[in-house]
Amino acid sequence: MTTEPILSRNFDRPAARTLAGYRETGGYGAWARAQEMEPAAILEAVKASNLRGLGGAGFPTGMKWSFIPKGHAGPVYLVVNADEGEPGTFKDRYLLERDPHALIEGMLIAARAIRSALGFVYIRGEYVQPWRVFDAAVREAYDAGLLGRGLDVIVHRGAGAYICGEETGLISSLEGKKGWPKVKPPFPAIKGAFGQPTIVNNVETLCCVPHIVARGAAWFAGLGTKTQGGTRMYSVSGRVRRPGVYETSVSITLRQLIELAGGVAGTGRLKAVVPGGGSAPILTADEIDVTMDVDGLKAAGSMIGSAGVVVMDESVSIPEALLVLARFYAHESCGQCTPCRESTGWIYRMVHRIVDGHGRKEDLDTILDVARRGAGTTICAFYDGAVGPYISYIEKFRAEFEALIPK
Ligand SMILES: Cc1cc2nc3c(=O)[nH]c(=O)nc-3n(C[C@H](O)[C@H](O)[C@H](O)COP(=O)(O)O)c2cc1C
Ligand code: SF4
């Protein structure tokens, strides 16, 4: 398992934020190489690398790029998802703040592969410093002639809605409309921003691309598991001794990752872990011998999502943890779909009264019933993301909820 920092190699070098500093360690070398390659060859390399989207869904990146209709006469857009709203996730922030040119280089190469001349970077509104650093790097890249000669980049700031991280909600917002998700299909690669074929990729996904071009698809694929290449940046928070962003192979297990972050803090005894951001079903202390790749977490009944790992020691109240999440989902639902709009509010109110000591006997089964009925019926995956925690927290820690309900 690799311990070589790849995506995070410049994190401790403040100079890397500048073009000169980035170039010192070979920055933009991959772009020079990619310019000698046919777009189809870049796409094939990304396919062979087994790179899978690191924003949440884990979709194979090369395959997504290949969906752009061949011979499309109009513009093709590249959209970078830098919204990073998933609870417990803060790795894209590190990339934007500490290695902004890596993203620009990834965008240049991706844009060549999909034949795009215009890229958008949609940055979470609260990310003021990451936006400042990244925007300065874009200006520098323009001054150096890296941008503006084949690829233009527009940096767009969001206004703080979680749903604008969902790719079609993001596109609506980019188009100047309310950030409402759209029904798929058509998928953005066919009909995306402003009605044109659009590739939406996460910040970290695109930061992997220069390394694939520079060091080869086979090398990248070999860093990970059979079905997912590369390393990944895990945001580790909660009750660990050294919270932070850890880059490691996707073949690491959750147990090893917690150890890497210094082990369990607080009581020192693990109760539960959220392995992939707020929307991932929770795992108990007995379920942490799982590999932290897309398929490993899927097999364990959870998901790697955005790789936001939240560790809970024995002193953490699971009902209170669910209350925080339930409030978040009730607040952030965009309201287009009845099951999502109504159920998130009902469930929040029921969890609230349970935690307050006024829960009713039937509340837990009502929450499970309401959650299950709505799953798979909505426009976007937001609601399915909320259902995972509702069900798993209650099913795995039911006694803790019951203890709060008056007999
Ligand atoms: C409710 C919701 C919120 C999302 N938020 C983000 C986000 O903040 N950042 C992100 O990259 N992807 C987010 N996604 C996933 C995106 O829809 C999309 O799959 C991703 O940007 C594609 O990039 P990738 O293939 O490089 O992972 C979200 C999805 C949902 C359903
Ligand atoms: S599932 Fe929820 S967030 Fe997604 S479109 Fe429907 S109402 Fe909006």
When pLDDT is cut at 50, 70 and 90, the band that residue 20 belongs to is: very high
Mean pLDDT computed over 221-236: 96
pLDDT tens-digit series, residues 170-189 = 999 999 999 999 999 999 99
- Whether 222 has a pLDDT exceeding 70, the answer reads yes
Chain-centroid distance, C-alpha 291: 17
Ligand 1 centroid, distance to 202 Cα (angstroms): 7
Residue 246 and residue 234: Cα distance in Å, rounded? 5
Where b means 16+ CB within 10 Å and e means fewer, 241-260 reads eebebbbbbbbbebbbbbeb
Ligand 1 centroid, distance to 203 Cα (angstroms): 10
Q: Which CATH number fits domain 231-313: 3.30.750.24, 3.40.50.150, 3.10.20.600, 3.40.640.10?
A: 3.10.20.600
With the most atoms of ligand 2 within 8 angstroms of its CB, the residue from 83, 86, 162, 163 to mutate is 163
Q: Give the pLDDT confidence score for residue 170 in this predicted structure.
A: 98
Ligand 2 centroid, distance to 31 Cα (angstroms): 38
8 A C-beta contact, residue 309 and residue 234: yes
Closest residue to atom 8 of ligand 2, CA basis: 334
Q: Give the pLDDT confidence score for residue 407 in this predicted structure.
A: 86
Ligand 2 centroid, distance to 332 Cα (angstroms): 9
Name the residue ranges covered by the structural domains of the chain: 14-222, 231-313, 318-402
- Whether 11 has a pLDDT exceeding 70, the answer reads yes
8 A C-beta contact, residue 211 and residue 6: yes
- Whether 31 has a pLDDT exceeding 80, the answer reads yes
Mean pLDDT computed over 270-291: 98
Ligand 2 centroid, distance to 354 Cα (angstroms): 26
Mean pLDDT computed over 189-197: 98
Mean pLDDT computed over 2-10: 89
Residues with C-beta less than 6 Å from any ligand 1 atom: 53-57, 59, 81, 83-86, 163, 165-167, 200-202, 205, 380-382, 385
Closest residue to atom 30 of ligand 1, CA basis: 166
Q: Which two tokens stand for residue 297?
A: 């977490």
Q: Give the pLDDT confidence score for residue 131 in this predicted structure.
A: 98
8 A C-beta contact, residue 145 and residue 100: no
Mean pLDDT computed over 61-84: 97
Q: Give the pLDDT confidence score for residue 3 in this predicted structure.
A: 72
Q: Facing residues of 235 across strands? A: 245, 308
Mean pLDDT computed over 198-216: 98
Residues with C-beta less than 6 Å from any ligand 2 atom: 163, 181, 333-337, 340-341, 378-380, 382-383
In the CATH hierarchy, which fold is given to the domain comprising 318-402?
de novo design (two linked rop proteins) (1.20.1440)
**Among candidates 103, 91, 95, 88, which has minimal Cα distance to 151?**
103
Residue 107 and residue 118: Cα distance in Å, rounded? 10
pLDDT tens-digit series, residues 117-161 = 999 999 999 999 999 999 999 999 999 999 999 999 999 999 999
Q: Give the pLDDT confidence score for residue 2 in this predicted structure.
A: 62
Q: Give the pLDDT confidence score for residue 40 in this predicted structure.
A: 97
Mean pLDDT computed over 307-314: 98
DSSP 334-381: -S-SHHHHHHHHHHHHHHHHHHTT---TTHHHHHHHHHHHHTT-SSST
HSE-up (13 A, CA, CB side) for residue 130: 24
With the most atoms of ligand 2 within 8 angstroms of its CB, the residue from 164, 343, 382 to mutate is 382
What does pLDDT average to over the chain? 97
Chain-centroid distance, C-alpha 297: 15
Name the CATH superfamily, with its identifier, for domain 14-222. Answer: NADH-ubiquinone oxidoreductase 51kDa subunit (3.40.50.11540)
pLDDT tens-digit series, residues 79-114 = 999 999 999 999 999 999 999 999 999 999 999 999
Q: Are strands 77-82 and 198-202 parallel, antiparallel or unpaired?
A: parallel
From residue 45, how far is each of 23, 206, 219, 226, 248 by CA, in Å? 23, 14, 11, 16, 22
Ligand 1 centroid, distance to 75 Cα (angstroms): 23
Q: How crowded is residue 49: how many other Cβ atoms within 10 Å of its Cβ?
A: 29
Where b means 16+ CB within 10 Å and e means fewer, 295-317 reads bbbeebebbbbbbbbbbbbeebe
Residue 329 and residue 368: Cα distance in Å, rounded? 16
- Whether 1 has a pLDDT exceeding 80, the answer reads no
With the most atoms of ligand 1 within 8 angstroms of its CB, the residue from 167, 172, 336 to mutate is 167
Count of residues in the chain:
407
Closest residue to atom 19 of ligand 1, CA basis: 57
The answer to whether domain 231-313 and domain 318-402 are alike in fold is no
Q: Give the pLDDT confidence score for residue 329 in this predicted structure.
A: 98
Residue 72 and residue 121: Cα distance in Å, rounded? 23
